Chain A
């Protein structure tokens, strides 16, 4: 589906990462696997260290800390926020919505549109689309989009398929109307037929959590995982990305009447370095235009990785300059979407640790 927006832009970005950092070398001790082979994997996939929340830390804790930082530093006024969108796969509770939890903890006004969206690695794209749609309403002048996940709490430390790459984080993106902002081209596709490629099987109504779903099972390749944990079919996901993402990005560039040279930065979801390199080579994107350093420094935090890639690599320049950027997210659902926009002259672009 092709979408088009106009008169809206991102005006601020903040990433929030937990202070606790764990190295892949430490992770290796948890795997039932020869160290030499783990080290080879580390080099190829770009694993080095990741940020993980301490026990008991929830999505709303990351979001509240980030918003409080913005309020206290004068970068955002609480009464300005007309809508709060939270994109997460790891809500504080099944009900109420965690966006309402954040509203309540921060004592935000009642005249506020709160919304939770259950999305993962394409969650920044989906969240931005929703923010742009809300900004069509005259009553809504400023939207706060929060992408946040504490996926480490749903990942088996003994699963070499997923544990070394995941990370916990949040990102707060302020989106506003701007009559002078140019056209934003976007596209999105979803395929629920492939929903089981990325899944946490237990814990919902279909398969409620129980002693049985918490039992670790040998799932092959010496990996141990429970049904309460994240399950990732690595081969299926890799194939999905290599098949679907190049035509999506090429279609978006065509939609926007641009070629690769006209785009300053390709800021993609950060699954791992190997997958991104293969994607860049297939589309013909110079590696220098596509940051791939988020997994090695922070881990893959699902929908947070695109804003994380922006803040990590461009936080200084984005305060003064504007760039033509191509964003792309892909993952759970399956869902894949991309966006071509001008990004820059931000009011803030920063990262904090909590």
Chain B
């Protein structure tokens, strides 16, 4: 399992993130989980995600989050 999937599972252990293309729409994450996720990503990758990037579209799927991490020079 990747570092990113580990982080997602630690926030919502009951959710299967590999089966969804829109975590928020499908109810796998809510807005508070998104805040927890940002904080976890900041810590795990040594970055500070800009507040303006904290929008649902950037956290809706593994691909979207990976693209966001790429913007900050963070890779799996």
Residues of A within 8 A of B (CB): 37, 40-41, 43-45, 160, 221, 234-235, 238-239, 241-243, 274-275, 277-279, 281-282
Contacts and interface: CB of A to CB of B under 8 A. Distances in A.
Contacts of A221: 30-32
A221 B34 CA distance: 13
Of B30, B31, B48, B51, most buried by chain A (CB within 10 Å of CB) is B51
Given A37-B11, A221-B30, A274 B52 contact: no
Interface of B: 11-12, 30-33, 35-36, 38-39, 48, 50-52, 54-55
* Consensus secondary structure, chain A interface: helix
Contacts of B39: 43-44, 274
Q: Please list the 6 inter-chain residue pairs (A to B) with the smallest Cβ-Cβ separation, ordered nearest first.
A: A242-B51, A278-B51, A44-B39, A281-B48, A40-B36, A221-B30
A238 B51 contact: yes
Contacts of B50: 242, 278, 281-282
Of B32, B48, B50, most buried by chain A (CB within 10 Å of CB) is B32
Nearest to A246: B51
Contacts of B55: 239
A37 B39 CA distance: 14
A45 B11 CA distance: 15
A238 B53 CA distance: 11
Contacts of A238: 51, 54
A40 B43 CA distance: 14
